[in-house]
Structure formats: structure tokens, C-alpha cells
A = this chain, B = another copy of it.
Amino acid sequence: MTPEAFRVAGRATVDWIADFLADIGDRPIVPPVAPGDVRASLPASPPLEGEPYTALLDDVDRLIAPAITQWQHPGFYGFFPANSSPPAVLGELLSAGLGANGMLWSTSPACTELETHVLDWLAEACGLPDRFRSDGPGGGVIQDTASSASLCAVVAARDRSGGAAVLPDLRVYTSAQAHSSIEKDVLVAGFARDQLRAVPVDDTYAMDAEALAALVATDVADGLVPCLVVATVGTTSSGAVDPVPRIAEVAAEVGAWVHVDAAWAGSATVCPEHRHLLDGLDRVDSYLFNPHKWLLTNFDCSAFYVADAAPLVSALSIVPEYLRNEASESGQVIDYRDWQIPLGRRFRALKLWFVMRSYGVEGLRAHIRAHVAAAGMLADRVAAHPGLVHAAPPSLGLVCFRHVDGDEASKRLLEAMNATGEAFLTHTLLSDRYVLRVAVGGTWTTAAHVERLADLLDELA
């Protein structure tokens, strides 16, 4: 495909996406497909000769778009949102069009420097402590997911505490409500399952910091080495916020790394009224949140901050001859390959830059505030409904509730809600009870959509 053919095909693709976004609310959120349906519609073998682009775009329209779950539908309240937005889509397009690889500063200076710069912007917009800005020993980096970024924290903490030589003695702590990625990361990093301590939670599902202190004390008495505590700000099941200040105190006493996973809730800190979520962050080692969840930036964009990059780079830097270069050796540049697991890297800063500039900080605040207000309204409607009861305190855009008649009734309600095609909720377990979750946060989700959701609940509960 020549550049001129690209121009024609590209415009057609842009038009198709514009139409798709314009009527996304009319598509079923959950596609009516059974396992194998999509594959059955595709030829068994690849074509020997090339096909015209119109055939490809037509197949996306006919076979693919109707068979995806519509995460961008305004009635999508499942999991946590995966925000996409038009300027982020265009940032992603430009990243692909430029085709640069930012593994080293020298392999694309703008790719590295824009990333450093935009993560400083983001730190400022969110009121993060100065320790996470790039003008000291720390700074930020964009990773694909919170899972991958947390794995880097696990590995850095593990190696700062002595690494493989003492691995069997090391212990990691997180709450029973932490995201499953933490357990996965700990296992990937070579720990045995029982080296991860599940700290009990209080009745708001936040980590019980005194229980943490007791576990740590017992382990230390047993000659073990606490190397990492992972705190969650905004748990997946209920949006609970762990007491980071006290956790940091407990960890400091034994020299353990503190990593804070605010994957979803962190976006809310663009609003000054939500900055209490950052309490204690001036004493932790690493912090992450995902602009791809609730800050209008296409997946993948997880912002990972460290107070001191040295242990991270020490754990992750391997420099073969074929990657040596003058700029790296000058010590004046960041090579982000040393801040992550993969070597190669896309130019992801472009989309975050586009989002921050297109919406402006005030625009991002308005986005969060509209959803928090809508979720508050929904929480009131749930509280007022005789058949429903809150399963946890509402948190930002997340409302968790169950049916008073028990798990079966809750499950039936979820199924009935999803069967309307107008809304999509997912579930969790809290205190062993089946709970419906509504995560308000879609790019196109307005107060009117959430009112409609509340009306549906009234009808079906």
C-alpha cells in the first residue's frame, strides 16, 4: 500500500470509526455470539494474493464490530471502565504511523522525553508528591498494564532485599482484597504462594494495618524478611482504600518497599477534592494508576512512578554490546527499557499528551466529577430501594449492592439487567455474598444513562 493508497484507505477508516462512535449506544453491549461463531465466519487459510482494503474494512464492519463486547457503549458498567477517547485514538494512530521504537533514548529521543515530560504533567495535574517527578532520583514511566508495572515493583523490591540468594526468606504482604495481578506477579517473580501474606481487611474491605503490623512482627521474629507491602487505593471488588500512611509506617520499620496500586481510583486525583486518596504517598516507593481506566486514554496506558529509579534499573538493566551507545553512557538520558520487562516500546506518551491537551486539566476534572455525581445519585437510589442493600460504602464511581433476598436473587437481577441490552454489570463476592458492581466511568456515559440504569433497577429488582 503506497502512501497515497494509505490516504484513501485511512480516510475511509476514520469515517467508519466516526460512524461507529456516533451510534455505539445502539449496539448490543454483549454480542450475540457463541464460542466458535467468529472463527466459523473466516476462511480456513490465509489468502495467497493480496486483497483490496475495502474488503478488509467491510469485514470489520460485518464480522468483527458486531462480535466485540462494546466497552465504549454508554451502558457499559462492568469491571472497571477502559476509557477510549477520540484524541487518544488519534495519538495511537500517530504512534503507529511514526513507527518509532523507544527502547533507548537514542532510538527515538522524542519518544523518551515526551514520556518523561507528560508523566511530570500528570504528576502535577494529580497533585502527586514531588518525589515522583523526574527532576529527582525518581520519575514516571508508561507501562501496558498495572500487572506489568506491579511486577516491576515486585522484582525491584525483591532484589533490593537481597534477591535470589535470600528468596525463600522474603515475604510480601497485601490485603485479601488486592487485585489478582499482585498474586500473579509475586508468583511470576519466583516466590512460593505462601510467601505472599494475605492481610485481613476491616469492615470497609480496607487493609487492617494493625493486622499487617502483627504479621510483619511475627515474620521478623521468625527470621524472615518483609520485602514488600502492596497497598491498594480503590480495590476492584468495592473501591476500598487501604490506610497508606500507617502501612508506610509499618513498612519503614523493617525497610520494606511500599507499592501503591491505585489502578482505577488514581484518575480521580485530578480533582483536588479527591486528593485524600494520596495520603501517605510521600513515604512510599512506587505508585501506579491507569489513565486507560478512567482518564480518557486508550488502553494501554498505565502510569508507574518510582521515588528512586536506582533499584528498579538495577533489577532490570542488562546491557549487551549491541545496545551500547554514547547517549546512554553519558548518564544524561533515561533508557526506559531499564524501567520495564520488555525491550521494545511503543510511543505511548503521544496519546496521553493528546488527552491532556485536548481536554485540559479542567476537562479531565469535569469528566471525573460527572461520573462521581452520577454514581452518588445511583447510590441514593439503591439505598432508597427496599429490595436492594449496599454491599460496601460507595466509592467514587463505583456502587456495589446486593438483593435483600440473597445470592440467587442478586444473580437473577444481574442477568435480568444485562438481558435488557441497555446496561452491562459484572459481579464480585464480598464477605462471601454475591454482589453486583456498577462502575460508572465510560467516556460517553452521562447522568441520563445512569438515571436510566437506576430506573431499570427499580423495575427489575
Give CA–CA (A21, B17) in the complex, Å.
22
Give CA–CA (A426, B362) in the complex, Å.
45
Give CA–CA (A337, B358) in the complex, Å.
32
| Assembly stoichiometry (copies) | 2
Give CA–CA (A69, B105) in the complex, Å.
10
Interface size of A in residues (CB-CB distance below 8 Å) = 148
CB distance from A451 to the nearest CB of B (A): 22
Contacts of A47 in B (CB 8 A): 356-357, 360-361
The reply to whether B33 and A109 form a contact with Cβ atoms under 8 Å apart is yes
A271 interface contact, C-beta 8 A: no
CB nearest neighbor in B for A340 = B147
CB nearest neighbor in B for A182 = B318
Give CA–CA (A106, B168) in the complex, Å.
38
Contacts of A72 in B (CB 8 A): 98-99
Contacts of A124 in B (CB 8 A): 45-46
Give the contacts of A329-360 with B (CB-CB under 8 A): 330, 332-333, 341-344, 346-347, 350, 353-354, 356-360
The reply to whether A79 and B107 form a contact with Cβ atoms under 8 Å apart is yes
* Stretch of A187-195, A215-223, A243-251, A388-396 at the chain-chain interface: A187-195
Give CA–CA (A60, B109) in the complex, Å.
14
Contacts of A209 in B (CB 8 A): none
Contacts of A55 in B (CB 8 A): 357
Contacts of A71 in B (CB 8 A): 99-101, 107-108
A385 interface contact, C-beta 8 A: no
Contacts of A99 in B (CB 8 A): 71-72, 82, 84, 89, 298-299
Contacts of A151 in B (CB 8 A): 188, 341
Give CA–CA (A347, B108) in the complex, Å.
25
CB distance from A191 to the nearest CB of B (A): 6
A51 interface contact, C-beta 8 A: yes
The reply to whether B85 and A322 form a contact with Cβ atoms under 8 Å apart is no
Give CA–CA (A360, B53) in the complex, Å.
12
A48 interface contact, C-beta 8 A: yes
The reply to whether A318 and B190 form a contact with Cβ atoms under 8 Å apart is no
Give CA–CA (A452, B93) in the complex, Å.
32
* Stretch of A3-11, A272-280, A376-384 at the chain-chain interface: A3-11
* Stretch of A34-42, A200-208, A303-311 at the chain-chain interface: A34-42
What is A's interface to B at a CB cutoff of 8 Å?
A: 1-7, 9-11, 13-22, 31, 33, 35-39, 42, 45-51, 53, 55-56, 60, 63-65, 67-72, 79, 82, 84-90, 92-94, 96-101, 105-111, 113-114, 116-117, 121-122, 124-125, 144-148, 151, 155, 158, 163-165, 167-168, 179-181, 183-185, 187-193, 195, 236-237, 292, 298-300, 315-316, 318-323, 327, 330, 332-333, 341-344, 346-347, 350, 353-354, 356-363, 426-429, 437
A-B contact pairs, 9 of them (CB 8 A): A1-B85, A7-B15, A13-B93, A16-B97, A39-B116, A67-B113, A68-B98, A185-B341, A300-B342
